[in-house]
């Protein structure tokens, strides 16, 4: 519930340009190509932040500033920008904040599933969102993912049905798909007047007026508020009645007015819509066309009217780092400073940027902040606010603001920056694990060091990008959210760090073990004049419990192998298990007993016994039914019911075992175990099988015996 006027005054610093109640932090999120960046560009133009509208297809937009974004026409990294907006009063039209200047912080997020982390971290720090839908396609696969992410963080939403100028656009169909596919309680507050080539403007359901955008102004800056055309009056009245009926069901105050047969004013109706939108029980829907400049201004009015200020949302939840007790952080300029670093970025102009959202207190240049994760203090030398394509240095930022710090060290995404006297750990955004990996190596020796620095920097910026070295193969492996993700990473390495790299499939780390006990004998006898070499070891191998590793026990009696040579025998066994007898892969889970042996007074030495131990173990392994093991992955696939059969069929083709299926609503969760070697290209395969609507996670589970036909193929490849 919004704070009272008196309490709000106490929460605001007298120096802030826009008070908390007049601040909106919103994100623009949707499926790829729904028109998010185009919409952001229009908002910046109408708010006066830019003086020429950029276009995605021309590569001239403000928020898509990376070369790769402009070349491909997609958003890769979320861009934060700030603008201000004043609702213009219009005759006969009620606007809640007419004539009051508002601050709107906007984050334009990517739509591609590979960059889902950008959406995740943005929604974590935002108070509200505009969910953009295509007027032709309605709810698309990534729309569902974005909607689930917003629900997870409790972010109130306004829906914008875009592209109403396109052939085949259908506002009612898009609205229906929101209700059925997303379960959204979505009702229009502004529906399009006309469609396709005949899109003229919008019908304002609440005020029962028509907004007509003038054709003589290509930028859509001017419009007229008129009476609703006769042929649409019934539709507009029905939409109003539906809206009031919804509010009567949801909102106590409107329900009481209705029961007492008192008039429901526009002011009361708007206040109820605001309350229910903020409570996540209602989604106002606006129709229009960002590209054709129709309907954007009234969408921004709706953002101001219905989406929350930092005072309208519940306090941020955190923990006391000393005792793990829950703590709350409320929006208040007078409180102790507390903020969340939600994004790191290497800016080509100013260096390393840390984007942060201030939840409480204020931060000024020269202040010292404390990071409870590292227990380190940092002095803030520069704070910037990004206004469209300009970077503006600011002295102070206040609670509810989104800004960036320049040059801070020892920080990762999700860190809390706070006052040292009032430490708190805010909940960081959660990120999915990488689902695809590949080996990478520099093209030249000179690139080796540069590649390490580049990968480290990119991994710092992107929580879903991981770099590690495979201990078994020595390869550098990079892992990410999809093939496009890794392709962009390689492209950035080349452009930003001048590192050329080759990539390929990572090698599978197979293992070997045995099925039955066996004895082995190894002897090294060399006599070549003078002192010779003599070592003799008899051992017994038995299968060990899975996961127990290699264990060795000395069972020699009577000193047939002197005690001083036992460490050398152990060393020989540990060396022998590095290369098995089937295909030379490391051996796991065997127990070795040193049973017997013999020695020579003069010729025996440590090296001789080490070699004899290697021979003995190899001899025993050959007799103990050695087998090849492959890594098995635990796979969880969440898919709409209609694709369940195709997903299971594909898993069966990959030698997977279906362990169970759970159904919740219209989603099925398929749990399976599958060999890692069969899972390459899986992300791409399920995307095409399910039209991009399935998502999956995969993690290592255990090792299992390789089937004979697969083993033959591996041995052939190895030879």
**How many C-beta atoms surround the C-beta of residue 494 within 10 A?**
12
pLDDT tens by residue, 88-99: 888 888 888 888
Residue ranges covered by each domain of the chain: 21-306, 316-426, 439-504, 511-624, 629-718
pLDDT of res. 52? 60
Q: How far apart are CA 321 and CA 327, in angstroms?
A: 10
* Beta strands per DSSP E along 407-449: 416-418, 425-426, 436-442
Confidence of residue 116 (pLDDT cuts 50, 70, 90): low
Query: Mean pLDDT in the chain?
Result: 84
pLDDT of res. 388? 56
Contact 679, 698 (CB under 8 A): yes
Q: Which of 112-126, 187-201, 254-268 has the lowest mean pLDDT?
A: 112-126
pLDDT of res. 506? 62
Average pLDDT value for residue range 181-200: 91
How long, in residues, is the chain? Answer: 719
Residue 59 pLDDT > 50, yes or no?
A: no
Q: Which of 184-193, 286-295, 452-461, 464-473 has the lowest mean pLDDT?
A: 464-473
Confidence of residue 218 (pLDDT cuts 50, 70, 90): low
Question: Which CATH number fits the domain 439-504, given the four candidates 3.30.70.870, 3.30.420.40, 3.40.50.720, 3.90.170.10?
Answer: 3.30.70.870
pLDDT tens by residue, 350-370: 777 888 889 999 999 989 999
Residue 2 pLDDT > 50, yes or no?
A: no
Confidence of residue 185 (pLDDT cuts 50, 70, 90): very high
Q: Which of 1-15, 217-231, 303-317, 528-542 has the lowest mean pLDDT?
A: 1-15
CATH fold of 511-624 reads Ribosomal Protein S5; domain 2 (3.30.230)
Q: Matching CATH topology for 439-504 and 629-718?
A: yes
Contact 56, 39 (CB under 8 A): no
Average pLDDT value for residue range 281-292: 92
Q: How far apart are CA 704 and CA 512, in angstroms?
A: 10
Architecture of the structural domain at 629-718: 2-Layer Sandwich (3.30)
pLDDT of res. 540? 95
CA 120 to centroid of chain Cα atoms: 5
CATH fold of 21-306 reads Rossmann fold (3.40.50)
Residue 74 pLDDT > 70, yes or no?
A: no
- pTM of the complete model beyond 0.75: no
Confidence of residue 63 (pLDDT cuts 50, 70, 90): very low
Q: SS3 string of 293-310?
A: CECHHHHHHHHHHHCCCC
Confidence of residue 301 (pLDDT cuts 50, 70, 90): very high
Question: Which CATH code for domain 316-426?
Answer: 2.40.30.10
Q: How far apart are CA 163 and CA 227, in angstroms?
A: 24
pLDDT tens by residue, 441-469: 888 877 888 888 888 888 887 877 888 88
Confidence of residue 79 (pLDDT cuts 50, 70, 90): low
pLDDT tens by residue, 691-716: 878 877 776 778 899 998 888 888 88
Pairing of strands 23-30, 128-134: parallel
Average pLDDT value for residue range 629-655: 89
């Amino acid at each position: 519930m919004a704070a009272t006027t008196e309490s709000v005054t106490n929460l605001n610093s007298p120096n802030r340009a826009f008070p908390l109640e007049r601040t909106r932090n919103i994100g623009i999120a949707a499926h790829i190509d729904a028109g998010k960046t185009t919409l952001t560009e229009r908002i910046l133009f109408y708010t006066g932040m830019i003086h020429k509208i950029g276009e995605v297809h021309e590569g001239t937009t403000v928020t898509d500033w990376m070369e790769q974004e402009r070349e491909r026409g997609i958003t890769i990294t979320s861009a934060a920008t700030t603008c201000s907006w004043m609702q213009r009063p219009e005759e006969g039209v009620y606007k809640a904040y007419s004539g009051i200047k508002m601050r709107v912080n906007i984050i334009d997020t990517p739509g591609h599933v590979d960059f889902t982390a950008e959406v995740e971290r943005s929604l974590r720090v935002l108070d509200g969102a505009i969910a953009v839908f295509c007027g032709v396609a309605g709810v698309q696969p990534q729309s569902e993912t974005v909607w689930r992410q917003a629900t997870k963080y409790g972010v109130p939403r306004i829906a914008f049905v875009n592209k109403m100028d396109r052939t085949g656009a259908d506002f009612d169909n898009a609205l229906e798909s929101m209700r059925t596919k997303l379960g959204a309680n979505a009702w229009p507050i502004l529906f399009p007047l006309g469609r396709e080539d005949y899109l003229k403007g919008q019908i304002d359901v609440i005020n029962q007026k028509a907004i007509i955008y003038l054709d003589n102004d290509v930028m859509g800056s001017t419009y007229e508020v008129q009476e609703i055309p006769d042929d649409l009056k019934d539709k507009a009245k029905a939409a109003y009645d539906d809206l009031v009926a919804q509010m009567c069901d949801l909102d106590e105050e409107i329900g009481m007015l209705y029961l007492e047969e008192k008039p429901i004013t526009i002011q009361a109706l708007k206040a109820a819509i605001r309350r229910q939108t903020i409570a996540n029980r209602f989604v106002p829907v606006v129709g229009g066309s960002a590209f054709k400049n129709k309907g954007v201004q009234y969408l921004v009015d709706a953002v101001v009217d219905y989406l929350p200020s930092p005072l309208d949302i519940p306090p941020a939840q955190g923990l006391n780092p000393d005792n793990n007790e829950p703590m709350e952080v409320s929006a208040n300029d007078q409180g102790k400073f507390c903020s969340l670093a939600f994004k790191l970025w290497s800016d080509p102009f100013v260096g390393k940027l840390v984007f942060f959202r201030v939840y409480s207190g204020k931060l000024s240049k020269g202040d010292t902040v404390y990071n409870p994760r590292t227990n380190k203090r940092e002095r803030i030398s520069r704070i910037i606010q990004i206004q469209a394509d300009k970077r503006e240095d600011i002295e102070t930022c206040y609670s509810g603001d989104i800004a960036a710090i320049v040059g801070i060290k020892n920080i990762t995404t999700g860190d809390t920056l706070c006052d040292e006297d009032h430490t708190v750990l805010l909940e960081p955004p959660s990120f999915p694990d990488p689902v695809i990996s590949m080996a990478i190596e520099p093209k030249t020796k000179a690139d080796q060091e540069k590649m390490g620095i580049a990968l480290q920097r990119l991994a710092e910026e992107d929580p879903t990008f991981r770099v590690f070295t495979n201990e078994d193969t020595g390869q550098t492996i990079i892992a990410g959210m999809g093939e496009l993700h890794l392709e962009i990473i390689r492209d950035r390495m080349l452009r930003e760090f001048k590192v050329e790299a080759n990539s390929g499939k990572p090698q599978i780390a197979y293992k070997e073990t045995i099925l039955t006990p066996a004895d082995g004998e190894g002897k090294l006898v060399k006599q070549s004049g003078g002192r010779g070499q003599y070592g003799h070891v008899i051992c017994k191998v038995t299968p060990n419990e899975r996961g127990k590793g290699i264990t060795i026990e000395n069972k020699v009696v009577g000193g047939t192998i002197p005690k001083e040579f036992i460490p050398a025998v152990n060393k020989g066994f540990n060396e022998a298990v590095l290369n098995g007898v089937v295909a030379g892969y490391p051996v796991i889970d065997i127990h070795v007993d040193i049973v017997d042996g013999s020695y020579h007074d003069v010729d025996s030495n440590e090296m001789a016994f080490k070699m004899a131990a290697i021979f003995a173990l190899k001899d025993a392994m050959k007799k103990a039914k050695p087998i090849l093991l492959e890594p098995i992955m635990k796979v969880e696939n969440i898919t709409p019911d209609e694709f369940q059969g195709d997903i299971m069929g594909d898993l069966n083709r990959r030698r997977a075992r279906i362990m169970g299926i759970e159904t919740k609503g219209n989603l099925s969760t398929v749990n399976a175990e599958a060999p890692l070697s069969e899972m390459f290209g899986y992300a791409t395969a399920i995307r095409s099988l399910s039209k991009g609507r399935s998502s999956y996670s995969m993690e290592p589970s255990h090792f299992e015996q390789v089937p004979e036909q697969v083993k033959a193929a591996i041995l052939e490849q190895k030879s």
